[in-house]
């Protein structure tokens, strides 16, 4: 396969597809590391210290490289972040395309996104650089698009719904991460409720007071909360599917009459 003119492509795209970058500087010394090792070191650093800790000098230090030598493998931090994101998301989850119905497939896909962000919390901080273009991210996109087009939506409708589910998963994952990181071990929910309940009644906040009395007002984002919001989104997609004109279906993304 001929080399692509990567000067006109986003940073990291050529390397993400396993191709050598034409613009990469060729120094005389034989490389002691590989791009994969650079990405692995960055992944370990992000998991250990978070997104803010990701710097080229720190990654180089982990590999025993000088600050300048790391640029023999990746040309910039932006390029590395593209490779890192694709590695951290990994292959598309199993059980999405072959799920019993489209709702089960969409639920599995969205939950897999939340779970992946629980494993790598810094993914919530990774910049989104437009539509997926790297191998693993395209695999995630293809999985949910197959589910939604299989349910009868057009490719364009499916893409919009996928973006909605993606945004929900990222927001939930980010909120769960923030709550988890900010929780103070000395806080007792019962003590908070005892303090707030009479004040809520004084202010006339009867609904909040009732929720707190029933232990239903909490800063924890429970699995039931995640499922409730996702079900409402899927209900909306279901309306879109069922309101399509009768006698029209999607075959390989093309409207056809039966």
| pLDDT at residue 39 is higher than 90 | yes
| Mean local confidence (pLDDT), 119-142 | 95
Residue 251 banded pLDDT, cuts 50, 70, 90: very low
Per DSSP, 3 falls in state P
Q: For the chain, which residues make up each domain, given as ranges? A: 6-88, 102-183+222-256, 186-218
With residues binned 3-state (H G I as helix, E B as strand, rest as coil), the percentages for the chain, rounded to 5, are: 60, 0, 35
Other CB atoms within a 10 A radius of the CB of residue 35 amount to 21
- Which CATH number is correct for 102-183+222-256, 3.40.50.150, 3.40.50.2020, 1.10.3720.10, 1.10.357.10? 1.10.357.10
The CATH code belonging to domain 6-88 is: 1.10.10.60
Query: What is the chain's mean pLDDT, rounded?
Result: 87
As separate numbers, helices (DSSP H) first and strands (DSSP E) second, the chain gives 10, 2
Owner of token pair 């590391």: 33
| Mean local confidence (pLDDT), 130-139 | 95
The answer to whether 92 touches 111, Cβ cutoff 8 Å, is: no
Predicted local confidence at residue 252, as pLDDT = 40
Strand, coil or helix: 14: helix
């Amino acid at each position: 396969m001929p080399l692509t003119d990567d000067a006109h492509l986003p940073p990291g795209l050529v390397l993400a597809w396993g191709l050598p970058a034409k613009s990469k500087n060729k120094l005389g010394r034989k490389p002691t590391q590989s791009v994969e090792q650079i990405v692995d070191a960055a992944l370990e650093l992000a998991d250990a210290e978070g997104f803010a800790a990701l710097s080229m000098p720190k990654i180089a230090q982990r590999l025993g490289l000088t600050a300048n030598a790391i640029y023999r493998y990746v040309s910039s931090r932006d390029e590395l972040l593209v490779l890192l994101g694709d590695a951290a998301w990994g292959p598309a989850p199993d059980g999405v395309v072959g799920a019993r119905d489209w709702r089960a497939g969409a639920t599995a896909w969205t939950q897999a996104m939340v779970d992946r962000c629980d494993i790598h919390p810094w993914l919530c901080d990774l910049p989104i650089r437009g539509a997926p273009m790297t191998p693993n991210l395209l695999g995630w996109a293809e999985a949910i698009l197959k589910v939604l087009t299989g349910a009868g939506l057009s490719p364009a409708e499916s893409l919009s719904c996928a973006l909605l589910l993606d945004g929900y998963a990222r927001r939930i994952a980010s909120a769960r991460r923030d709550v988890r990181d900010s929780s103070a071990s000395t806080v007792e929910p019962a003590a908070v409720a005892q303090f707030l309940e009479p004040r809520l009644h004084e202010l006339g906040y009867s609904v909040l007071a009732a929720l707190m009395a029933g232990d239903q007002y909490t800063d924890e984002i429970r699995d039931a909360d995640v499922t409730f919001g996702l079900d409402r989104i899927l209900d909306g997609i279901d309306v879109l599917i069922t309101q399509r004109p009768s006698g029209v279906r999607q075959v390989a993304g093309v409207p056809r009459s039966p």
